[in-house]
Structure 1
Amino acid sequence: MSKPHHLEVLHRAPAPGAARNAPPLLFVHGAYVGAWCWEDTFLPYFSGLGYDCHALSLVGHAGSAGRERLDLCSLGDYQRDIADVAAQLAAPPVLIGHSLGGYLAQRHARKHPVAGLALLASVPPYGLAGSLTYMGLSAPHLLGGLNRFQWHLGPDGLDYALLRELLFSDSMTRERLNAFAARAQPESTLALTELLMPQPWLLMGMPHDVPCMVLGAEHDRIIPRIDVMATARAWHVEPEFVAIGHALMVDSGWEGVAARLANWLGVSFGGAR
């Protein structure tokens, strides 16, 4: 799929009076969601700290065009989306990618200028094959649940207990879980298939001059600790971990993740004051 398409981009300007002396932030969501996953948490948090915040919905997701042809969307299409949005910003952004979005951010940084990378519960550079093998061996019921989530027929077709175990910590409220499930959507079958193809060579050749943060979720049932560590090694940094579930931008306790990210941004770029 190569035709131009409308992309939804949520924007939160820096808080009034904040000096815009830091690079813009571009948030890239993971599978099954859209830019909305950052809307009530990270976007107001970081715009309040003085950052110029943008979050895109990849083609076929949320408010972006292409839902009717979602299964034909490739990882290459998603990477073009990021490149198109990043090119419209005032300066190369800090890419903040979650899960699939983290994988895409890494691929983008190999070819395009970025101010930095923050990889949150990210798919590692070599793809999802190892993660899903681990899940199949350690928690086959969750792998089955993930497959059902891909084809769910709306909130009534979901197993909420399994969804909580798969994506969230035990403290996630049913109200927030319901709100997440109501807006979640299937993912591109083509893109997921591409992610399952082992790509070990992508562990090599990462830029050495790109500031990078790699943050793993201690209660992640999708991305195991070993994958977080492999991603960190590829980017020549030490990984950090926080006690939260995979969907860490909406899980209970997301503020702790945001605080870690804010601290790294302040150290790396002097903050936005």
Structure 2
Amino acid sequence: MASFDDYLADFQRVVERIAVDHSEAPLVVGHSMGGHLALRMAARVPFAGLCLTSPMVDLHLPVARGLARAILTPLATSWAGDRRLGLDRGADRFEGNPLTSDRARFEKYRQVLRQTPILETGPPTLQWLRQALMSIDAMWKEVPTIDTPTVIFGALCDPIVPVEAMEKCAARLPNGRYVPLRGRHELLQESDDIRAALWAAMVQFWAGV
């Protein structure tokens, strides 16, 4: 993956294809990296609304951002760019799982990956992380220009995306709202009570756009 612009180009094609059959601007639901890309695309094309769960507006890093960039740049642009980072964060174990606190949904997710291993992406590469940080920097410059009605659902126990960054992003959006929910990164894979609160807030948002 050379650049997040590749993802944005794919997103653009999807939007153009939808426009062939639908005259109204779409309502976009995005999670994590998908939420990040939805924000960036909203700076380019009109959407009816953005409904984002744990959008990648920043990343928890083991070192300061400046140091991470200084380390990543020479490595990611060399032979080591395709090397994967050891950042599984315990995603393959239920105890302390970063994605969900719901055992049944965790087991179902693991079963799907066992049956279809091609769906498992694994840890990111050095090049992906470098490009992700570059795209996040670009996103923050675009955020004040995005007037699309947007709701950001932040998981209060998210070890991947900083909660304070999601709240800050919603505050900087001209038409943004932040809704904190008890849960981990994959809010849509959380326990029934958390999902019920999420869906109720989503429906309320959709009704108003």
Q: Do the aligned partners of 2:50 and 2:150 also contact (CA within 8 Å) in 1?
A: yes
Report the Cα distance in structure 2 between the residues aligned to 1:199 and 1:261, rounded to whole angstroms. Answer: 25
Give yes or no for the alignment of 1:227 onto 2:165: yes
The verdict on how the C-alpha distance between 1:79 and 1:201 changes in structure 2, with shifts beyond 3 A counting, is: closer
Q: Which amino acid aligns with 2:100?
A: F
User: 1:220-239 CA distances to partner (integer Å, 9 max, x unpaired)?
Assistant: 11112211112112213331
Report the Cα distance in structure 2 between the residues aligned to 1:229 and 1:184, rounded to whole angstroms. Answer: 29
> SS of 1:241's equivalent?
strand
RMSD: 3.0
Give yes or no for the alignment of 1:214 onto 2:146: no
Comparing 250-259 and 191-200, the one that deviates more: 191-200
Structure 1's consecutive aligned runs of 4 or more residues displaced over 6 angstroms after TM superposition are none
Report the Cα distance in structure 1 between the residues aligned to 2:109 and 2:86, rounded to whole angstroms. Answer: 18
Q: Do the aligned partners of 2:4 and 2:135 also contact (CA within 8 Å) in 1?
A: no
> SS of 1:92's equivalent?
coil
Report the Cα distance in structure 1 between the residues aligned to 2:177 and 2:16, rounded to whole angstroms. Answer: 30
Report the Cα distance in structure 2 between the residues aligned to 1:260 and 1:166, rounded to whole angstroms. Answer: 23
Shift, 1:242, TM fit:
1.2
Instruction: Give 1:265's aligned residue.
Output: 206
Q: Do the aligned partners of 1:97 and 1:120 also contact (CA within 8 Å) in 2?
A: yes
Q: Which has the higher contact order (CA 8 A, sep 6+)?
A: 2
* Unaligned stretches of 5+ residues in structure 1: 1-71, 136-145, 151-156, 269-273
Q: Structure 1 length normalisation: TM-score?
A: 0.55
Number of residue pairs matched by the alignment: 176
Report the Cα distance in structure 2 between the residues aligned to 1:166 and 1:158, rounded to whole angstroms. Answer: 6
Report the Cα distance in structure 2 between the residues aligned to 1:88 and 1:110, rounded to whole angstroms. Answer: 19
Task: Describe how 1:83-232 pairs up with structure 2 within 5 A.
Answer: 83-89=12-18, 90=22, 91-124=24-57, 127-128=58-59, 131-133=60-62, 147-149=86-88, 159-161=92-94, 165-169=97-101, 171-173=102-104, 175-179=107-111, 181-182=113-114, 183-186=119-122, 189=125, 190-197=127-134, 199-200=136-137, 202-205=139-142, 206-207=144-145, 209-232=147-170
Q: Which amino acid aligns with 2:184?
A: G
Identical-residue share of aligned pairs (%)? 25
Shift, 1:261, TM fit:
0.9
